[in-house]
Amino acid sequence: MKNQTIDLILQRRSVREFTEKPIEDEKMKLIVECGIFAPTARNKQNWHFTVINNQDTIEEINRLTIEGMQRLGLKREADYHVFYHATAIIIMSSLIEGFSELNCGCAIENMAIAAKSLGIDSCIVGQTRFMYHQANAVDINRMLKIPEGYEHDVAICFGYRKGDNPEVKPRKEGVVDYIK
């Protein structure tokens, strides 16, 4: 029993190679709106979305993240790009209180599925937390317009993919039990 929504969920992949084509403003606003309509524990909506399509800012976040990773001894290929050269990213931050990370996760997934429905691919990126090991958190939060009292949670990058949709990776078996 399938439908369009289920098909989108099953087709969505983490894409790691994007074209240079920018995402249209109307589509980006719709993607963000879908994130804002995600469920939150006790309807707190304790999040903040920083939408970035300025390539200089994306490159600066990439640089800070890679330098933070290096500081921690995490090695990557010389040409590694945290956002895979995507043309847009969203940084999620939240008030750190009950279920804030879960709330951001719901918003991220809503946005990933909404993007897929518009022909835009995405990749959820957790490595951006390493930028805080490189530079002053206050400066980073100011650059990313993260409100005072909020902390970085996760990022997601968006773009038009190069090539075919990545293959489905095998799913682990034995991860579900039904109790009737």
- pLDDT at position 163, please? 85
The closest alpha carbon to 150, from 158, 160, 140, belongs to 140
Cα–Cα dist 106/34, whole Å: 10
Tokens linked to 18: 């994007």
Q: Which amino acid is at 121?
A: D
Cα–Cα dist 7/24, whole Å: 24
Q: Which residue has the higher pLDDT, 99 or 150?
A: 150
- pLDDT at position 138, please? 79
Cα–Cα dist 121/118, whole Å: 9
- pLDDT at position 25, please? 96
- pLDDT at position 92, please? 95
Q: Is 44 exposed, middle or buried (0-12, 13-18, 19+ CB in 10 A)?
A: middle
Residues 48-80 pLDDT 10s: 999 999 999 999 999 999 999 998 888 888 889
Which spans in 72-99 are helix H?
A: none
Q: Which residue has the higher pLDDT, 166 or 42?
A: 42
| Average pLDDT in the chain | 91
DSSP state of 97: S
| Banded model confidence at residue 164, pLDDT cuts 50, 70, 90 | confident
Mean pLDDT is highest, among 88-92, 127-131, 148-152, for 88-92
**Is 102's pLDDT higher than 90?**
no
Whole-model pTM above 0.95?
no
- pLDDT at position 99, please? 82
Which strand (E) or helix (H) includes residue 4?
helix 4-11
Angle of the 100-117 helix axis to the 25-36 helix axis, nearest 10: 140
Residues 116-149 pLDDT 10s: 999 999 999 999 999 988 767 878 889 999 999 9
- pLDDT at position 62, please? 94
Q: Write the CATH number of the domain with boundaries 17-159.
A: 3.40.109.10
Cα–Cα dist 77/69, whole Å: 12
